[in-house]
Structure 1
């Protein structure tokens, strides 16, 4: 069974970093566009559509941030657990090797 399951701890850490950077990029774009006010765009209908979009984007970004937070939290916990297991196994093998001498 162990032959089919492998975990690359560095990949987990990189994925965690990528998720965080993706959220940060979305937030930066949203904040940059937040300074463009609807009354600067054009018609009243277009202004209203821009305001509505900004609100939906803000809400969606908050939802993404929340979900990314939960995923990164879980990934970090898994990464820490795998590192702890690897360290424990390494120490066990060293003790067994020392005891066998």
Structure 2
């Protein structure tokens, strides 16, 4: 579905109905977030967000247990969907992107 949305936006841009800036926003929204390994989740939380597990969990509106599972290689869990997109925003734009 996201692919079709992007194609439509590109077509509308070709006809001058959608601006290049709006097309760039649609591309950003339609891009799948990367896969977050446990090491990458820890790096985002400690290096970029500079938060404890409990604060980070509250910030992302997930449980502390969920963050612990994401950070544990043995758990085999990784963020997906909205959580992965939020992590991507924090990783690329900092926590300020979610606070503003």
Tell me the TM-score normalized by structure 2.
0.28
* Bigger fraction of residues in helix: 1
Greater relative CO, 1 or 2 (CA 8 Å, sep 6+): 1
Which structure would you say has the larger Rg? 1
Tell me the TM-score normalized by structure 1.
0.28
